[in-house]
Structure 1
Amino acid sequence: MINPLLPILAVEDNDEDFTALSRAFRKIALPNPVLRCADGDDALTYLQGYGKNPDFPLHLPALILLDLNMPGTDGRAVLDALKSDERLRTIPVIIFSTSASNRDIEDCYRLGANSYMTKPIEYTVLEERIRLITRYWLEESHLPAAA
């Protein structure tokens, strides 16, 4: 693992979806802390303000799970801002959305998404997707050092 203590950031506005994600992370015994931003504005405040606010975590996340359809600043705008920021662009961003629209998928990859996965309805499938994400991004991939 690159660093088992780096947090995973879930940008998720739906409480039930975040509860299911948290449960899946616990079930696979992920040692990384899982942080939540409930909307795109919170995510940008945390990520772009990193190092400026003593209330923020000490480390940028190892990866970001980003929902697309949120009130206010949506996932597309967050993705565009992250991939346009020199300090943040190397953090892997996995779009995790209920949308399977080809347009959404193409737009997200054009904006720099590292991966796009649809949120499954069944919990067992969700758990397997979370296992796959963490294994690939935290155990198998070589990522650049955090800024």
Structure 2
Amino acid sequence: MTAMPYKEVTILLVDDDDIDHMAVVRAMKQLRLLNPLVRARDGLEALQMLRQQQVHRPYLILLDLNMPRMNGLEFLEQLRHEAELSLSVVFVLTTSSADEDKVAAYQHHVAGYIVKHHIKDEFISIFNMLENYWRIVVLPPDAG
């Protein structure tokens, strides 16, 4: 079996929690992932970065729901209404296990909804799954 070529996919982490950010960085280092990691602390900052093309394609968005200024669901609403950004692949990564949040996220066509429980070990599993995802799945082409 031949190894699949490494695809460099930018990870946009939209999360205001510094502990989660550090856990993501740690997990990526442990797994030796070389992907660029870009962080926005809320939905407004993330939208601005995406609109100004500060996040290089192809990219995946890891989105928290509970943030100041613009929360994750508000971000998804805006994202899906902008032609240039509407095809963005988004995984929700949140502490919310509320059914209404899950339904709302999937109504905005997220690729997955992940509930954070035990940050340390969980982020390793999440990034293992994401790495397999971006190695296998063909991400949307640049709409611009």
TM over 0.5: yes
2:135 is aligned with 1:132 = no
Residue of structure 1 in register with 2:59 after alignment:
62
**What aligned pairs does 1:1-147 form with structure 2 within 5 A after superposition?**
4-50=7-53, 56-57=54-55, 59-136=56-133, 138-147=134-143
Tell me how large the CA RMSD over aligned residues is: 1.8
Instruction: Give structure 1 regions of 4+ aligned residues with deviation exceeding 2 angstroms.
Output: 1-6
SS of aligned partner of 1:116:
strand
Q: Structure 1 residues 2, 65: closer, same or farther in 2, change over 3 A?
A: farther
Cα offsets for 1:30-64 (capped at 9, x unmatched) = 121111011111101111232xxxxx35x245100
Cα offsets for 1:79-121 (capped at 9, x unmatched) = 1111111111222100000111111000111122121111131
Distance 2:72 2:58 in 1: 17
Q: How many residues align?
A: 140
SS of aligned partner of 1:143:
coil
Conserved 8 A contact 1:4-1:31: no
Gaps of 5+ in 2: none
Gaps of 5+ in 1: 51-55
* Aligned-pair CA distance for 1:131: 1.0
| Letter aligned with residue 25 of structure 1 | M
Q: Under a length normalisation based on structure 1, what TM-score does the superposition of the two structures give?
A: 0.86
Conserved 8 A contact 2:7-2:135: no
Q: Structure 1 residues 2, 42: closer, same or farther in 2, change over 3 A?
A: farther
Q: Report percent identity of matched pairs.
A: 32
Distance 2:6 2:51 in 1: 21
Distance 1:4 1:19 in 2: 23
